[in-house]
Amino acid sequence: MYRQGAQSTPTEDITFEEHQRRREWNRSPIRDLFPRVPAAAVERVLDLCIARPFTYNLSQSKLWNARHLTSIVVAHVRHAYSDYDLLLREQQVERFEARYRTAERVWKVLREWCPWEQSNEVLERCFKVTLLRPEERQPADAEWDPMDIDDYEEPERVNESESVGDPMEID
């Protein structure tokens, strides 16, 4: 049996083969949604998908799957590429206030990874919903809770240089 590490709670016992199968099943949809995501971030997001546990589900709509994968990516970016955890732990900032304070940085990274010219409705909606307290959300957003995905801890902040280096980057 293969058991996920402490940072990827909740855990479940799965075989190594099943672990690898789930990773590969989610890899292509993540790359489709976020074509510029760095390789190290893809690997971490794949681990988080397994830990949640989430596997792309052909029985569900493409929108349903995109929303869940995007929520996992948004949570990963918030924890790994912003000062979110620092604000929570060291400055004792309330969770939603910390999200608000880090929103600009999180959105910048997400747009680097998903550089479509036209609006990306799923990405924008997932991102904006995570900034709202549950009581502030619209009824359409009540059917799923992106906060469930955000309850993990990143071991350390990712090196900033990993999110740059694309020659097409205009910033």
> Is the pLDDT score of 42 beyond 90?
yes
Give the start-to-end residue ranges of the domains of the chain: 2-152
Say which residue, 76 or 144, is predicted with more confidence: 76
What average pLDDT is seen over the chain? 77
Which of 6-10, 27-31, 152-156 ranks highest by mean pLDDT? 27-31
Measured CA to CA, the distance from residue 36 to residue 56 in angstroms comes to: 20
Tokens representing 86? 């620092």
CB neighbourhood size of 112 (10 A): 20
Three-class secondary structure of residue 156 per DSSP: coil
What predicted TM-score, i.e. pTM, was given to this entire model?
0.73
2 forms bridges with which residues in the sheet? 14
Say which residue, 123 or 164, is predicted with more confidence: 123
Measured CA to CA, the distance from residue 38 to residue 137 in angstroms comes to: 31
Say which residue, 47 or 154, is predicted with more confidence: 47
Measured CA to CA, the distance from residue 96 to residue 154 in angstroms comes to: 18
Contact 73, 33 (CB under 8 A): yes
Residue 40 CB-half CA count within 13 A = 11
Backbone φ and ψ for 13, nearest 5 degrees, come out as -85, 120
Measured CA to CA, the distance from residue 26 to residue 7 in angstroms comes to: 19
- Which of the four pLDDT bands, split at 50, 70 and 90, describes residue 5? very low
Q: Which of 52, 50, 46, 110 shows the shortest CA–CA distance to 78?
A: 110
> Is the pLDDT score of 1 beyond 50?
no
Q: Express each pLDDT in 73-118 by its tens digit.
A: 999 999 999 999 999 999 999 999 999 999 999 999 999 998 776 6
- Which of the four pLDDT bands, split at 50, 70 and 90, describes residue 3? very low
- Which of the four pLDDT bands, split at 50, 70 and 90, describes residue 121? confident
Backbone φ and ψ for 143, nearest 5 degrees, come out as -70, -20
Contact 52, 149 (CB under 8 A): yes
- Which of the four pLDDT bands, split at 50, 70 and 90, describes residue 54? confident
Instruction: State the residue for tokens 């199968």.
Output: 21
